Copies of this chain bind each other. A is one copy, B any other.
Amino acid sequence: MSEITRVDGRTVDQLRPVTIERGWSAQAEGSALISFGGTKVLCTASFTNGVPRWLTGKGKGWVTAEYAMLPRATNSRNDRESVKGRIGGRTHEISRLIGRALRAVVDTKALGENTIVIDCDVLQADGGTRTAAITGAYVALADAIEWGRAKKFIAQKSTVLLDSVSAVSVGIIDGEPMLDLAYVEDVRAETDMNVVMTGRGLFVEVQGTAEGAPFDKRELDALLQLGADGCADLRDAQIAALAGGEDAAR
């Protein structure tokens, strides 16, 4: 790794400070307020006994997610999507990504005919909101599953979660691969990639985009390695949060 020092003093392979306030919401069946540096996302899990009509009677549960940003989460205010009357493409895309990432570690048969909706609302945005959302959503999901088990909606000994899941962004800036981009880095990145991995180190989703120059296989490999290391650190933060209460990675 290079000796480059980043705007906020981090090394290229270092995460921003990560905190996970598990159980932030008094009302949701699972919740976590997660921060990756200045990015803060409130993740709440809503457990409902029963499934959408199209899934009824198949003996399977359903996990889905919705992502949104408060209008002043960002540096200048954005109009509300509720006021505009339609959800933007970016919002849709991220909601779908979070849902897929969570379903990748859920055994929907073991979940039984129950539905869990994870809401990820960005209270403050400073880059990496979708990866923070996935990482926090997993914690909220895990608690909601235990809630469902305690309420006997889920069988006592079933294994609903096959693995954990976390996510991080990586990118190439001035030719240098870097981990967990803050907003000022993200806007300068030539290539931007989101890596979603299980706790055991398998890929769930890899989304790499050349924002500037296209990239080659060697760069892709460097980004994937950085992402894998970052996801492992985040997995540890998730484990700590679920073991006790609040915790900070690194």
Could you list which residues of chain A lie within 8 angstroms of chain B, going by C-beta atoms?
25-28, 31, 38, 42, 44, 46, 48, 66, 68, 70-77, 80-93, 95-96, 100, 104, 117, 119, 121, 123-124, 163, 193, 197-198, 200, 202-210, 213-217, 220, 224
Contact = CB atoms under 8 A, between A and B. Distances in A.
A200 B214 CA distance: 10
A250 B162 CA distance: 43
A65 B68 CA distance: 19
A85 to B, nearest CB: 5
Contact of A92 (B75, B85, B93): B93
Contact of A44 (B72, B81, B86): B72
A203 B224 contact: no
B92 A66 contact: no
A116 to B, nearest CB: 11
Contacts of A200: 214
Contact of A25 (B89, B124, B198, B205): B124
A72 B163 CA distance: 26
A44 B27 contact: no
Nearest to A88: B92
Contacts of A44: 70-72
